[in-house]
Amino acid sequence: MEVKHIPVLLSTTVLCILSCSAALDIVSAHQRIKDGNTIVSAGETYELGFFSPGKSKNRYLGIWYKKISPCMVVWVANRETPISDPSGVFEVTTEGSLRILSDDNTVIWSSNSTIPVTNVNPVAQLLDSGNLVVWGSSEKENLIWQSFDYPGNTFLPGMKFGKDLITGRERYLTSWKSPDDPSVGRYKIWIDTNGYPQLFVGDSLFRRSRLGPWNGLGFRGLALENLNPVYYAEFAVNQKEIYYRYKLKSSIVLRRVLMHDGNLVQFNWIERTQEWVMYGNPILVDNCSGYGSCGPYGSCSVKLPPCNCIDGFEPRVPKEWNRGDWSSGCQRKKPLDCGSGTQMDGFQKISGVKFPDTRRSWYNVSMSLEECEIACRRNCSCTAYAELYIKNGESGSGCLLWFDALMDIREYDDNQELYIRMATSELPGESRFNNKKGVLRVVVSVSLAAVLLSVVVYVYRKKMKRSHKKGRGYIRLIRIIRVLRWKTLMKYLFFSLHKIAKATDNFNIDNKIGEGGFGPVYKGVMEDGQVIAVKRLSEASQQGLDEFQNEVLCIAKLQHRNLVKLLGYCIQGNEKMLIYEYMANKSLDSFLFASALAHYPWYSSRHSLYTSRFTPPNHS
């Protein structure tokens, strides 16, 4: 980060027209602070009074550093309503509101804060943090207002920056119009809470730059903040508020300022040399700092040319791309398979990038990375996923999903990984966290196709020998092929025999919940806690093959909330199984016919696999 020594005059340098006397740190109700008088925090760190910025003659009420000269203002009250002469007065009303009055008692500015109770004595206090607060009583209880909720262009240690989800209040920085005018300028820094919260810098027309999402140690796109010896950062996302703040680890004097030209800079006060040292803009550090400079699915690098398409993508408008206009971004070389009936998309892992724009995203702080992949795989709109938090650069926790074109990606020097949805044919390898499992899945899929084809041929020959109606035999062959073709099955999840055996305790008799012409049905519990029903084809079954065909075809066509869902299948060696969701409310026939059939010893509610989701009403 670039370090510069700062000359005497800065955008927050002011001409302080003050008296030499300083009051205490508290202002009581109806105790007036006139222009020329000030109050000072208990540790004499900050001072509050009237000032004139730069070459301006207008007067403003503000807070600045007490022992640092020239005066460096960190907060201004009446930014939009200056006083043209030194006649201003600052006071606290009995209702707990702060006011600035002109010489004719006209209210120039007010905090509009009120106390919900009566018979109290509100006081205003300037704290050593630079925060001006209003207490409901002289005992300094019941905080009813604070200047930290209304920041200007300066971000001080301990100040929260974000959104209060209870009150709806947003805390953000706004630049000055110029070094001589503290009114709200063109630029703004804010936390966008759409999707997973992220920090933007820009103006009313466009986003100038963006920090990636918080990963537990810092914002993606900046150096890891919590590894420095000067301060530590905190980013909170909960039901009450979303905020970012930093706190100092030492007695250093530090502040961050959004300058009038849109640059965010950090200033450190050096006591030995009695001067401010500026650390260059931590956001706009190179040509890739601008928002979306390479367009959708484009990745920016400090190398030349700066923009490149992610693997598996190509320029959307090649002519513009070749002329150095990369704003149109990139598009997929091959469309996704998801939604076409196969659902065989995979995920390409890329490392060392700033995470894309998260305004259209979803997150869960407790999900594992494996669960994250499953959630993204099941939703065709999900374009990418990643681990939300890291721990010292290693594996962490949480899940972050994206649901739109990936925007504002840049190369970044770390190892946190992003997984982008790709058509299987575009993947250089197989799926993510278990290559052996992925290879096995492909092998099993190919084997499945070969096995099913062999079954089709066998059944066809057998049927042709028994039937003299070749036309009907041909139609039957086509029907079997359509039912058994592996693409129909592959839109469901493949379960390994090992997982099914583990879930059912190796097909323990105690887990058997029924049996029919197809074979026995077992109850099982997967590793993630999901309860399943496993329908296992019996080797002795004479109708199992036909039922296996019809089962897949019917379940694929019949989708209803009162019918059990087919979750997947397992075909390995001689084993052929269908895996369904398990319903604990018994079958629908048990509620419709139980009273009529209960006295028949052969009747059992276990015989029906098409278990209803219907829960009978309580007629008692």
* Model confidence pLDDT, tens digit, residues 282-303: 565 567 878 888 999 999 987 8
d(CA 206, CA 218): 24
pLDDT for the residue 172: 95
Structure tokens at 59: 């007067």
Which amino acid is residue 603, in one-letter code? Y
Q: Is the pLDDT of residue 491 over 60?
A: no
DSSP 8-state symbol, 228: S
* pLDDT (tens digit per residue) in 74-83: 999 999 999 9
Do residues 284 and 2 touch, judged by C-beta distance below 8 A?
Answer: no
Which of 35-39, 344-348, 590-594 has the highest average model confidence (pLDDT)?
35-39
Task: Enumerate the H helices of 485-616 as residue ranges.
Answer: 486-490, 497-503, 544-557, 588-592, 594-597
Q: For residues 41 and 126, what is the distance between their CA atoms, to the nearest angstrom?
A: 5
CA distance 459 to 452: 10
Q: For 327-340, how does the pLDDT look when each residue is reduced to its tens digit (9 = 90+)?
A: 999 999 998 888 66
- 25 and 150 Cβ atoms separated by less than 8 Å: no
SS3 assignment, position 403: coil
Residues in Cβ contact with 366 at an 8 Å cutoff, skipping those fewer than 6 apart: 397, 398
Least confident range of 144-158, 392-406, 561-575:
561-575
Residues in the chain: 620
Which residues touch 205 (CB under 8 Å, ≥6 apart)?
none
213 upstream amide cis, omega within 30 of 0: no
Q: Is 168 a residue whose pLDDT tops 60?
A: yes
Paired strand residues for 315: 330
Q: How far apart are CA 225 and CA 126, in angstroms?
A: 29
Task: Say whether pTM exceeds 0.85.
Answer: no
Short-list 572, 519, 520, 575, CA closest to 543: 519
Q: How confident is the model at residue 361 (pLDDT cuts 50, 70, 90)?
A: very high
Which residues does residue 301 pair with via DSSP β-bridges, in sequence order? none
pLDDT tens, position by position, 447-474:
666 667 777 667 666 666 665 444 454 4
Average pLDDT, the chain: 79
Give me the percent of the chain exceeding a pLDDT of 70. 71
pLDDT tens across 247-296, in order?
998 888 999 999 998 888 888 898 888 888 887 665 655 678 788 889 99
* CB-CB neighbours of 562 under 10 Å: 10
Q: Strands 14-15 and 73-76: what pairing?
A: unpaired
Residue 408 has pLDDT above 60, yes or no: yes
Q: What 3 state SS string does 300-342 have?
A: ECCCCCCEEECCCEEECCHHHHHCCCCCCCEEECCCCCCCCCC
Task: Please write down the HEC assignment for all residues of 41-94.
Answer: CCCCCEEEEEEEECCCCCEEEEEEECCCCCCEEEEECCCCCCECCCCCEEEECC
Q: How far apart are CA 563 and CA 569, in angstroms?
A: 18
